[in-house]
Amino acid sequence: MVDLISPNGDELHRLLRVAADMGPFFVDGMTGATSFLRHADVSALARDERVMGVGLTFFDLMGILEGPLREWYSGLMFTNEGPAHDRLRKLVSRAFSPRSVEALRGVAAQNANDRLDDVEAAGGGDLSEALALVAMHVMCALLGVPSEDVKIFGAWADALSPTFGFMDESQIAAATSAIGELLSYVEDLAERRRTDPANDLITALYAAEDEGDRLSHRELVEMVANLLVGGHDTTTSQIGCSVLTLLRHPDQMKRVREDPDLLQSAVEETIRVEPSIPAVPRTAIAEIDIAGTTLAPGSMIMLCTAAANREPGVWDEPDTFNVSRFTVKGGPALLTFGAGAHFCLGAALARMTLQETVRAVAARDNISLAEDPATLPWRVVLGRSPARLPVTA
């Protein structure tokens, strides 16, 4: 059995390989979930119409049967399926354009470089802590939230990130008060944008229309909170995973430093070998025959993207970290952002933020790890990442 949210970095990959050597899936003894490990099965199940998200199952199991947290969670794209999901997704996609993402490259670069300047001035420090708000700065700029409020948005998003898994009583209390405060802040901001439009996503969301349909004011406010919470810990954790991976491989970091054309491919490769999100939960809604087993309706499924991203035979030398791997077109698909109807809506924003952060780190050849990376502690909130990333500079 493999703990898919194992907080230990290298151990997760070792255990997944042991499981994959034994067969295409394993059944978790505690939850009964069937975890699929192969690239073809994960890709097929992510696109299969007989497979749905987990909706409100975790909330039911935690006993959160009513209240503001459940109300907000039940309106997310992640928890909705079919026409209700597609409607929200279509409307938000109109406003959240590739152009709006590219316009934020400077914000990401500036923030990452400012934080790294601080670390350098101090002769070293913890990169996890230093870079913790880079992604939130970018998302706040996207939404038109002033930079002095980035810290409080980071705190709300930190409190809300555990809603995607099982929470204890104190996490439920913290998330409940955070959603109240976040929604009321966004409510005020959205009201201002309605009368005083600006060049930001909230204004664009108001204008977004699909065949005469628009988001209601309430839906818009909840959507903004959806994007913030969906994008904060996932990207921040991936920054930790990606930077750690490059710092562990100084020869590969040198290649990126010397050839900026490798940047995109290098970031994809860090997301492949060390993903912040290693698996995606699903439920079968009909009988499905796959990989030599039959899933009954109602079965819980885990799509283990971390294993699929390293499957031997699919990937050439799957355990080798090679920053030019993704310069060759036509290779297998990277599955860390999911696939199918729920494919990550923020993938372009996350990639851009990661590229600028990695570019900023790679540019400084004096930064190196201050501790043995194999023994660093890991943490899991929504994404997994090294709990600290001590460097000398």
Residues in contact with ligand HEM by CB under 6 A are 53, 77-78, 89, 139, 226-227, 230-231, 234-235, 238, 276-277, 280, 336-338, 342, 344-346, 349-350
| Distance separating alpha carbons of residues 315 and 300, to the nearest angstrom | 28
| Distance separating alpha carbons of residues 207 and 88, to the nearest angstrom | 14
Which one, 38 or 342, has the nearer CB to ligand HEM? 342
| Smallest gap from residue 351 Cβ to ligand HEM (A) | 8
Which one, 186 or 277, has the nearer CB to ligand HEM? 277
On whether the CB atoms of residues 354 and 239 are closer than 8 A, the answer is yes
Strand, helix or coil at 192?
Answer: helix
| Distance separating alpha carbons of residues 89 and 345, to the nearest angstrom | 8
| Smallest gap from residue 153 Cβ to ligand HEM (A) | 13
By residue count, the chain amounts to 393
| Smallest gap from residue 122 Cβ to ligand HEM (A) | 27
| Smallest gap from residue 306 Cβ to ligand HEM (A) | 11
Q: Which residue is nearest to ligand HEM (CB)?
A: 346
Radius of gyration of the chain (CA): 21
| Smallest gap from residue 133 Cβ to ligand HEM (A) | 14
Which one, 162 or 393, has the nearer CB to ligand HEM? 162
Which one, 234 or 393, has the nearer CB to ligand HEM? 234
| Smallest gap from residue 334 Cβ to ligand HEM (A) | 10
- Strand locations in the chain (E): 25-27, 34-36, 51-52, 124-126, 280-284, 288-290, 293-295, 300-303, 368-369, 378-380, 384-386, 390-392
User: DSSP letters along 98-124, please?
Assistant: HHHHHTTHHHHHHHHHHHHHHHHHTTE
Return the half-sphere exposure (C-beta side, CA atoms, 13 A cut-off) of residue 274: 30
Which one, 79 or 171, has the nearer CB to ligand HEM? 79
| Smallest gap from residue 347 Cβ to ligand HEM (A) | 6
H or E stretch at 209: none
Which one, 197 or 338, has the nearer CB to ligand HEM? 338
Which one, 143 or 178, has the nearer CB to ligand HEM? 143
